[in-house]
Amino acid sequence: MTTLAPTARLGTQPLLEVRKLLERAFDEFGEEDWDHTLGGLHALVRLDGVLVAHGAVVMRRVLVDGRTLRCGYVESVAVCPTRQRRGLGGRVMEALESLAEGYDLLALSASDAGAALYRQRGWRLWRGPSSSMTPQGLVATPEDDGGIYVLAGRPHQRSRLDLDAPIACDWREGDVW
């Protein structure tokens, strides 16, 4: 069963389950990664009452072609290592993608291993240069170029997204993308 719930409604025990799953699924998962996971909506997949997959969408702002867009940023998509390759990641993504029309676009930063899943689901690679809006101004993030994927949200945005344009995200501690 896949459920969607805001961070504020999960409660202590479910949040501990999410954290443990993320720590098992990722080689490195620290406090900043955990902080990035919180504050939005979580997609949770449980089998026989056990949390086996998770993903979250958090609100961010991105700047594209001089326009500030509402971005649902996908964070912490993970499947229990013993349950991978069974469609559970797809179930998480389906739930998160169902939120797309609430945003101008959904975005995420994909590892090489995860990129195929997102491409198969219709996500498009952002080809333009990336940066972050820091307190010191725009700072280029070339290490993230080639790893940012987007999915158009509101229908009027679908024809307006220039995937070759520069894109900038709001700044945060840790991985900005």
pLDDT digits (tens, 9 = 90+) for 93-146: 999 999 999 999 999 999 877 788 899 999 999 999 999 999 999 999 999 999
Reply yes or no on whether the pLDDT at 172 is more than 90. yes
Contact 104, 159 (CB under 8 A): no
Residue 39 falls inside a structural domain: yes
Q: In the chain, how many domains are there?
A: 1
| Domain CATH number, residue 93 | 3.40.630.30
Contact 55, 45 (CB under 8 A): no
Range of the domain at 87: 2-170
Q: What pLDDT band is residue 156 in, cutting at 50, 70 and 90?
A: low
Contact 90, 52 (CB under 8 A): no
Contacts of 146 (CB under 8 A, 6+ apart): 125
Nearest to 142 by CA among 131, 134, 153: 131
Residue 83 falls inside a structural domain: yes
Residue 107 falls inside a structural domain: yes
Element housing 173 (H / E): none
Note the pLDDT tens digit of each residue in 40-67. 999 999 999 999 999 999 999 999 988 9
The whole-model pTM stands at 0.93
